[in-house]
């Protein structure tokens, strides 16, 4: 169960023989896995192994060239963190989250934005433009954006990238708190940190 | 109502971005004014009004192209388009919001350009302004869709003019016709039809441009 009234019985993601090609280049070949509604899939692999491509497929931003991929939550119920921050650099943190809050139909938007900015230590910088943020602050803002609509499926690409120890601890706490109510697909080069939370692991070659 | 609220939020965001970054409108204003100044000095004194009006349309189309080339720059730079595409809102709202902001920038450029044209060449009349207004709608509608397509490509600077200019030819024909003939109604009707047809096509097809 992701949020009240949403019951994804069975699997949230079901992948069988997923393949992705860009032109002649095959990025993914024969990938298969399941993610239960309270599952936590840890995706690892060397650079260029297709982790980001797989996450884009799970988020619905790309479609497989071959194979079957079923993602149950509709697109408004997926939280996606990419390598880029997905925020407008010329807008403030508050303006960025307010725009996303409107588009993602977030109930009690202002309260939710305030809570996330407080939680990720950005409240004092909420009126600062994102282009004045450090890499770590930008990552905290990107995480706030991904979590804003309380998603049922979180697809996170290198979520610890750029975070200092305090930021990483905040993210640890956030993941643990959401663990029972959300499905996760997380790609990382540092699997040791979140391995205890993972229910399954996918190693891409 | 939700759809209109999304469109309003997206269009306001673009205007706010431009107010802060000031990287599109100043370039458009500089381009259209400098083009008119150059035309003013290179056209022979006894050249016809037709030539001047034709050159105004060239200036308008290339000014619009300049604005369109920046239309999705902010979305492209930080991958923001992915965040917008994943939102549960209707994806065509992204196109409507962006087309409205493109239209606003184009109108603002023309608010400066038309008095300058009147000063240098004279002869700005009602049918000509109506033709420009209708042409702006078509340019914003078609241009925004093509700018989104080009933004996804590495060769975006080359691709956008290649896609846009052929589709802008009917707009130029209609606009010039409305500006120079004694019976502008026919051309204004043609522009209105072009706007309606392409607005519907672009509105319906935008989703396929921003998704795989």
Residues of B in contact with A95 (CB under 8 A): 13, 16
Of B6, B77, B88, the CB nearest to A76: B88
Asked if A109 reaches chain B (Cβ–Cβ under 8 Å), the answer is: no
Range among A123-127, B37-41, B51-55 rated most confident: A123-127
Question: ipTM of the assembly?
Answer: 0.89
Per-residue pLDDT of chain A (205 residues; tens, 9 = 90+): 333 344 455 789 999 999 999 989 999 999 999 999 999 999 999 999 999 999 999 999 999 999 999 999 998 999 999 999 999 999 999 999 999 999 999 999 999 999 999 999 999 999 999 999 999 999 999 999 999 999 999 999 999 999 999 999 999 999 999 988 899 999 998 889 899 999 999 999 8
B168-196 pLDDT, tens per residue?
Answer: 999 999 999 999 888 899 999 999 999 99
User: Which one of A6, A69, A88 would you mutate to disrupt binding with B, by most B Cβ within 10 Å of its Cβ?
Assistant: A88
Q: Is A55 within a domain?
A: yes
Query: Which CATH number covers residue A55?
Result: 3.40.50.300
Measure the CA dihedral A42/A46/A48/A54, to 10°. Answer: -10
Domain span including residue B178: 2-210
A111-157 pLDDT, tens per residue?
Answer: 999 999 999 999 999 999 999 999 999 999 999 999 999 999 999 99
Residues of A in contact with B153 (CB under 8 A): none
Q: How many domains is chain B built from?
A: 1
Of B10, B77, B88, the CB nearest to A104: B88
Domain span including residue A59: 10-73+152-164+182-205
Q: Is A102 within a domain?
A: no
Residues of B in contact with A143 (CB under 8 A): none
Q: Which residues contact B148 (CB under 8 A, 6 or more apart)?
A: B71, B72, B95, B98, B206, B209, B210
Q: Is A34 within a domain?
A: yes
B56-78 pLDDT, tens per residue?
Answer: 999 999 999 999 999 999 998 88
Residues of A in contact with B211 (CB under 8 A): 61
Asked if B17 reaches chain A (Cβ–Cβ under 8 Å), the answer is: yes
Q: Is A114 within a domain?
A: no
Pairing state between β A40-44 and A200-203: parallel
Look at the pTM and tell me if it is higher than 0.80.
yes
Contact A159, A174 (CB under 8 A): no
B89-124 pLDDT, tens per residue?
Answer: 999 999 999 999 999 999 999 999 999 999 998 878
Q: Is A123 within a domain?
A: no
Q: How many domains is chain A built from?
A: 1
The rounded distance, in Å, linking the Cα atoms of B23 and B30 is 11
CA distance B207 to chain A (A): 12
Q: Is A3 within a domain?
A: no
pLDDT score for B104: 97
Q: Do B89 and A103 touch (CB under 8 A)?
A: yes
Q: Is the pLDDT of residue B4 over 70?
A: yes
Q: Do A89 and B74 touch (CB under 8 A)?
A: yes
Q: Is A106 within a domain?
A: no
Q: Is A67 within a domain?
A: yes
């Amino acid at each position: 169960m992701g949020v009240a009234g949403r019951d994804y019985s069975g699997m949230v993601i079901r992948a069988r023989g997923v393949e992705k090609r860009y032109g002649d280049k095959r990025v993914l070949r024969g990938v298969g896995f399941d993610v239960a509604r309270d599952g936590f899939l840890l995706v690892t692999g060397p650079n260029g192994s297709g982790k980001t491509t797989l996450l884009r497929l799970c988020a619905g931003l790309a479609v497989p060239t071959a194979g079957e991929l079923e993602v149950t939550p509709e697109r408004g119920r997926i939280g996606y963190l990419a390598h880029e921050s997905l925020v407008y650099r010329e807008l403030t943190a508050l303006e960025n989250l307010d725009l996303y809050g409107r588009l993602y139909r977030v109930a009690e938007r202002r309260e939710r934005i305030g809570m996330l900015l407080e939680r990720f230590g950005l409240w004092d910088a909420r009126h600062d433009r994102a282009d004045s943020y450090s890499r770590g602050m930008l990552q905290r803002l990107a995480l706030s954006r991904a979590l804003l609509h309380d998603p049922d499926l979180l697809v996170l690409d290198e979520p610890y990238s750029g975070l200092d120890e305090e930021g990483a601890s905040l993210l640890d706490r956030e993941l643990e708190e959401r663990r029972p109510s959300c499905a996760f697909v997380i790609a990382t080069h540092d699997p040791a940190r979140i391995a205890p939370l993972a229910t399954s692991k996918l190693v891409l070659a | 109502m939700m759809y209109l609220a999304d469109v309003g939020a997206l269009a306001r965001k673009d205007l706010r971005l431009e107010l802060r970054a000031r990287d599109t409108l100043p370039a458009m204003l500089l381009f259209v004014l400098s083009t008119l100044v150059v035309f003013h000095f290179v056209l022979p004194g006894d050249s016809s009004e037709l030539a001047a009006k034709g050159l105004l349309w060239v200036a308008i189309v290339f000014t619009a192209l300049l604005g369109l080339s920046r239309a999705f720059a902010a979305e492209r730079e930080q991958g923001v388009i992915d965040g917008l595409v994943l939102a549960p809102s209707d994806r065509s709202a992204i196109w409507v919001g962006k087309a409205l902001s493109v239209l606003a920038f184009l109108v603002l450029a023309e608010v400066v350009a038309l008095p300058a044209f009147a000063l240098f060449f004279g002869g700005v009349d009602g049918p000509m302004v109506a033709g420009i207004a209708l042409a702006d709608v078509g340019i914003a509608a078609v241009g925004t869709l093509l700018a989104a397509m080009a933004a996804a490509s590495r060769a975006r600077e080359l691709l956008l003019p290649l896609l846009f200019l052929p589709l802008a030819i009917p707009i130029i024909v209609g606009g010039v016709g409305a500006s120079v003939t004694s019976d502008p109604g026919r051309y204004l009707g043609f522009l209105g039809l072009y706007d309606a047809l392409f607005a519907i096509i672009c509105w319906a097809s935008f989703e396929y441009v921003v998704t795989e």
